Each structure stands twice: as C-alpha cells, then as structure tokens.
Structure 1
Amino acid sequence: MRPEPRPGLMPEAAGRDHRRMLRHVATSALAGTIAGAIAAGVLMMLDIASIGTLVARSTDPLLAAATVLAPFVLIGAAAGAAIGLLPILRKFRR
C-alpha cells in the first residue's frame, strides 16, 4: 500500500523532503553507531564478563576487539535508524 502524494507538493519540494528525511535517518544511524562503539569500548575497558582480559590475551587483539565491536556497532546503527524513522512514519500515517 503506497501513501498518496500530498496535493500541491511539487517534484522539487518532494526531492528536498526526501533528502531531508534521508539525512535525518543517516544522522540517527550514525549516532547509534557511535553509541554502540562507546558501549563496546566501556564493556572492554571495565572488563565486564572478562571480555577485556580475553581480548588482551588473545593472539590477535585487534581481530578480537573487532569481533566484540562489530555487533554492538551494527545493532546501534539499526536501532538509531529505526528511532530516526519513527517521526517520519507518524508523519505519513496522518
């Protein structure tokens, strides 16, 4: 089901609206990415569940840190993008 176009919205205005929407979602995803990276960093620095010790003692600490960091960053980006979409979805529901 596609939303009906708003009456009186010119193609240029629609393009600006789409760019604004994409910029908003990208900014939200970036904020979520940063939050996920900070959460993983704190998890390793505070050595919660001995993750910091395991990363430090591994044969390749960069790979181990990336293995811990990647899921947090991806989940943070997805959550940020989803939160960024909430006002836009409410706008189209009207």
Structure 2
Amino acid sequence: IKPRSKPILDRAVTVLTEFSDTRIRIEGHTDTDGSHEHNMDLSKRRAESVKRYFVEHGIDASRIETEGYGPDVPIADNKSAKGKAKNRRIEFKLVQ
C-alpha cells in the first residue's frame, strides 16, 4: 500500500468504525500489462492487502469480502500510461 493511499484508507476505517453494521466488498483491478492470469492474481492480492490493512486497524474481517477482477473492468483505456494508472485501482462496494 502506497503511503499516499493511507489517508484514504484511514478515512474508510473511520467510516466503517462509525457504521459498524456495514459490510463491504473490496474490488481489485489492474491494467492490461502482463498475462491475464498474473493480473487476476495481482488484483486479488491488491484487494486482500487493503482488507488486511482494515483488519489491522480494527475492522472485523467478517465484514469484508474481496474480489479480484484483473483487467476485465477498466474505467479508462489501456493505451496510455494515464489510462493504465486509472485502471490500477481498488473500489469499495456496500454489501447487503
């Protein structure tokens, strides 16, 4: 986890602490560089890394699901460095 991401994750921890009944799914994404298999694994590890951060900061692991989507759900094209950077991301979704 990059140092610049920690304030965002800390804010999410604060929200999850305040809304203690909330469950989330952490979704990991990648760009298209590398094999599909590698990117699927990387996206899963990316999501698990954020889950581990949350658990280390007091959030119960049972409230958190993780999923890796690899390069399959881009939000930008993968033809430019800027687009690839946007696709390397984590998203949080509320779970019922």
TM-score (norm 1): 0.36
TM-score (norm 2): 0.35
The structure that is helix-richer by fraction is 1
The structure that is strand-richer by fraction is 2
